[in-house]
């Protein structure tokens, strides 16, 4: 997940605090000395305790898949470990502040897309059935209407208008909504057991 470092007009300087909270990384705020939970973006100790950083859209995928979608990307060339993504064992989390929902990746591969409502926002969570490293979360609202999506061989089809959207870019390729773009929502991946610890009030799909 990725958070904005701006809070109330100030840009925070954050580093690894060195300890875990609920089995997840914490940040040290060099500006105020506050300690932040990385998954939630919330300050859990210090002067800013209770404050929360805004999530921004991001994705966890392979470098090869990212280059396929964004061939002009430049990246820092630095030594590091090659970590396996293991996304099939994870859940995609949509956190809209007043409600948090997690979607099992394996179940999503079978469904292709889940239409849902989170915190009053109509959302669609999409996973490529052929490659779970290709996924996205979108708002389903286009202008004053809400699309009702299903995954087909053509792409994401709006049942109401017949418009076909690119599943990973959110752009309508054909139909009455051609050229319209679904807004991407902030979402991230976690292991299901960690989701239950980090977001005890959250809900999971599928239920049970």
Listed by start position, the domains of the chain span 2-54, 63-76+85-205
Give the tens place of pLDDT for each residue, 131-161: 877 889 999 999 889 999 999 999 999 999 9
User: Quick check: 12 pLDDT over 80?
Assistant: yes
Give the tens place of pLDDT for each residue, 83-100: 555 678 889 999 888 899
Residue 206: predicted pLDDT: 93
CATH for 63-76+85-205 is 2.102.10.10
- The CA distances from residue 191 to 105, 113, 116, 141, in Å, are 10, 20, 21, 29
Report residue 41 as tokens: 């973006």
Residue 196: predicted pLDDT: 86
Residue 82: predicted pLDDT: 52
Q: 36 near 43, Cβ under 8 Å? A: yes
Residue 81: Cβ within 10 Å count = 4
Residue 108: predicted pLDDT: 92
- pLDDT band, very low/low/confident/very high, at 66 (cuts 50, 70, 90): confident
Q: In sequence order, which ranges of the chain are alpha helices (DSSP H)? A: 63-69, 105-111, 192-198
């Amino acid at each position: 997940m990725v958070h904005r470092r701006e809070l109330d007009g100030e840009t925070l300087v954050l580093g690894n605090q060195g300890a875990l909270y609920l089995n997840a990384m914490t940040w040290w705020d060099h500006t105020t000395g506050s300690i932040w939970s990385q998954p939630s973006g919330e300050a859990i100790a210090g002067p800013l305790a209770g404050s929360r950083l805004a999530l921004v859209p991001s994705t966890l995928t392979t470098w090869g898949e990212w280059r396929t979608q964004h061939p002009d990307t430049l990246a820092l060339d630095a030594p590091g470990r090659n970590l396996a993504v293991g996304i099939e064992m994870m859940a995609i989390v949509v956190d809209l502040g007043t409600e948090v929902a997690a979607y099992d990746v394996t179940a999503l591969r079978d469904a292709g897309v889940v239409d849902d409502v989170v915190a009053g926002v109509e959302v669609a969570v999409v996973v490529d059935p052929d490659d779970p490293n290709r996924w996205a979360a979108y708002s389903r609202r286009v202008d004053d209407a809400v699309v009702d999506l299903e995954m087909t061989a053509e792409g994401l089809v709006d049942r109401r208008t017949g418009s076909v959207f690119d599943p990973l870019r959110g752009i309508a390729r054909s139909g009455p909504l051609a050229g319209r773009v679904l807004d991407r929502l902030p979402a991230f991946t976690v292991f299901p057991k960690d989701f239950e610890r980090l977001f005890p009030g959250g809900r999971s799909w599928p239920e049970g």
